[in-house]
A and B are shown apart, each in its own frame.
Chain A
Amino acid sequence: MKRLFTTILLAALFLLAAAPAFAAETIPVNDPSSGRLVEKPKVYNGKRVTFTGEAIGEVMVRGGYAWIHLNDDAYMERNVEEGAPLKGYNSGMAIWVPSDLTKQIDTYGDYKHEGSIVQIEGTFNAACKEHGGDMDIHADKLVVLRAGHPALDPIHPLKAVLAVVLVAAAGGLWWLERTTRTRIRPHRGV
């Protein structure tokens, strides 16, 4: 009984100690989300918003500012290669941010990477005057909530077997086609 009590106490202490780490892992849900911003652009135009998403693709630095794209979709924490279930298209927002702030972002999402999860604060523009009518957010604060990581995609063994079998079959048929090419069935009229 005493041992059980000690175990529970230790577990509780461990959880308590680890609480800040777990809290840091929790990714806030966007309100408004990118979908909501696109659906109701007039409602949020000119308003200050907080937006969280996976940094995707690349940063495009233009002088003192830069473009980044944050996806707040079903794949922002785990992509399809890592086993995330399919839940529709990507969705996100284009962010115009001082380029110095983007230096905190270590990874941008692509096939081989799950990008850093970034939170920004800024002003939403339904049709930005500075950027030719683009829908964007001009951010002045940027925090990385979670660093990015490589997304492993090992070869599936069944696929490898199927590839070997099909390549052998294709090679066999190619050889058959070459060796019997001259034996063409004569055509007897239309």
Chain B
Amino acid sequence: MIVRPRLSDHLVIGKYTGKVIIGVGMLMLIPLVTSIVFAEWDSAVDFIIAIAACLVFGFGLQAVCRTARDLNWSHGLVVASGSWFWATAFGALPHYLSGHAGSYLDTLFDVMSGYTTTGLYLLQDLDHISMGLNMWRHLLTYAGGQGIVVIALTFLFKGTAGAYKVYVGEGKDERLLPNVIQTARAIWLVSLTWLGIGTLFLGVRGMMLGQGPVRAFLHGLWVFMGAWSTGGFAPQSYNTFWFHDLGYEVIGIVIMIAGSFNFALHWAMWTGNRKEIRKNVETISFFITLSLTTMIATFFLAKANVYPDAMSLFRKVFYQLASGHTTTGFSTIYARAFVTQWGPIGLVATTVAMAIGASACSTGGGIKGIRMGIISKAFLQDIRRMISPESAVIMQKFHHIRDTWLSDDTVRAAMTVTIAYVTLYAVAALVGVLYGIPLEQAAFEAVSAASNTGLSCGVTQPFMPSVMKVTYIFAMWLGRLEFMSIFALIGYGMAIVRGK
């Protein structure tokens, strides 16, 4: 029997959703200040409207939903997924008011892409948007990478036990420290330290490349945000191809690989456990699959004679593949070049890298390295069982922060989520195929959206059918929150309608 939620359930969900949306409004102060500093007055008014709208909604919900009750598990999941929905709706206001979006649906697409660290966009005439809006686009993806709920946890929640349930609902389940608020702050400590160092490196490199100091610093900051959050947004329509520099690409690769690592791994390194990076199942899995996909793409592109020498070939292939595998979405080739130069094998190798994706509890998306590691170990365990005597007990371990024995439950959980991802990829690709897009291109774009990568082979366009836009929005959302909390939100909706 489905139990209809009571008034007290609605109140607690409303209260915490309101807090998160107030957090989104506070976050918009940064692009507002940016617009004011650069005297972009119309853009500044856009942000004032959007901030005020967030506060009206947030304070309004808090005024209506007064309760002392704490969150339970289902509340946490509904608050997480519901907050993402509302944060997208309100976060889209500056995009819409800028006049650079074809419709509100397009702005929802861009903001969902930002929060989920995907990097696909439908904004038009990107090269003429304001500094403030560019700051907001990149801040969205940086905040989304940490988790917008993590932000709210850090600044707005006061030590509630229910906070952990919202945190898990956002697709993160690592507790680095005993208290979840401390964990959220630890995530921020790591991220902000990287932000300072990464922006400095990219900014100085930008100046060496001929950029003025202000543009070099801002581009450095934004490219850092795009790389660390594995978001893939860049300030110009040319993406990171804009810089034409190996050094800038190398710094970018280091940041995006670091961003794709599990926060627990970062914390282990931070607290002195340096060996963890060599032993962790996710890093091992990542380097094996990245090497394999890079080798396949390199082999076939070398045969096709696309690039003039080995260095150019490796530079282009490794950058796009590392970007795809970390689910960043930065690119140093034109989107259509995946089709016109790389061809089907290049497309498929990149699609596989994107599908596998980054580490769990990171800013990245995709099936995740830990699941690939667990499934591979389970597969090896089964082979060993087959070739061993019947009486032999074959046990298998995997290492993630600590050694863990591989159990059937662990394997089942990894397989369930993997199958869910593969199904999502297939459904999103099918929608593209139904609109007449060739299978390999439809699959590339669908996997890119659902794994929150953001590489495009030219399918994503402002004038693509609305059904495809909606499909990709849901694919990005489901992929980022890893299904459970969105299913909980749907269940909550059904319980309101059909519950007793």
User: Are B307 and A38 within 8 A (Cβ)?
Assistant: no
User: Are A167 and B52 within 8 A (Cβ)?
Assistant: yes
Once A159-B45, A173-B56 are accepted as A-B contacts, the answer to whether A84 and B337 lie under 8 Å apart by CB is no
- B241 interfacial contact with A, CB 8 Å: yes
How many Å lie between the Cα of A94 and that of B239 in the bound state?
12
Residue of B nearest to A180 (CB): B63
> What mask results when residues 32 to 56 of chain B are scored 1 for a CB within 8 Å of chain A, else 0?
0000001011110110110111011
- B246 interfacial contact with A, CB 8 Å: yes
**Option from B131, B241, B337 in Cβ contact (under 8 Å) with A111:** B131
> What mask results when residues 209 to 246 of chain B are scored 1 for a CB within 8 Å of chain A, else 0?
11110010000000000000000000011100111101
- A129 interfacial contact with B, CB 8 Å: yes
User: Are B127 and A56 within 8 A (Cβ)?
Assistant: yes
Measured as residues with beta carbon below 8 angstroms from the partner, the interface class of chain A is 35 or more
Residues of B within 8 A of A185 (CB): 11, 66-68
User: Are B48 and A94 within 8 A (Cβ)?
Assistant: no
User: Are B62 and A177 within 8 A (Cβ)?
Assistant: yes
User: Are B315 and A132 within 8 A (Cβ)?
Assistant: yes
User: Are B42 and A173 within 8 A (Cβ)?
Assistant: no
User: Are B127 and A170 within 8 A (Cβ)?
Assistant: no
Residues of B within 8 A of A187 (CB): 8, 67-69
Residues of A within 8 A of B468 (CB): none
Once A155-B41, A185-B11 are accepted as A-B contacts, the answer to whether A81 and B316 lie under 8 Å apart by CB is no
- A58 interfacial contact with B, CB 8 Å: yes
User: Are B11 and A112 within 8 A (Cβ)?
Assistant: no
How many Å lie between the Cα of A79 and that of B126 in the bound state?
10
Residues of B within 8 A of A169 (CB): 52, 56
Residue of B nearest to A112 (CB): B40
- A133 interfacial contact with B, CB 8 Å: yes
User: Are B129 and A111 within 8 A (Cβ)?
Assistant: yes
- A66 interfacial contact with B, CB 8 Å: yes
**Option from B8, B45, B242, B461 in Cβ contact (under 8 Å) with A160:** B45
> Interface segment, B76-84, B328-336, B433-441, B488-496?
B328-336
Residue of A nearest to B134 (CB): A111
User: Are A86 and B125 within 8 A (Cβ)?
Assistant: yes
How many Å lie between the Cα of A160 and that of B41 in the bound state?
10
Residues of B within 8 A of A27 (CB): none
Residues of B within 8 A of A151 (CB): 128
**Option from B62, B243, B340 in Cβ contact (under 8 Å) with A40:** B340
B244 smallest CB distance to A (angstroms): 6
A60 smallest CB distance to B (angstroms): 3
Residues of B within 8 A of A91 (CB): 237
19 residue pairs of the A-B complex, CB under 8 angstroms, read A39-B336, A57-B242, A58-B210, A58-B215, A60-B209, A80-B128, A86-B125, A89-B124, A89-B126, A111-B43, A111-B130, A127-B341, A129-B308, A132-B311, A155-B42, A159-B46, A163-B49, A167-B48, A176-B63
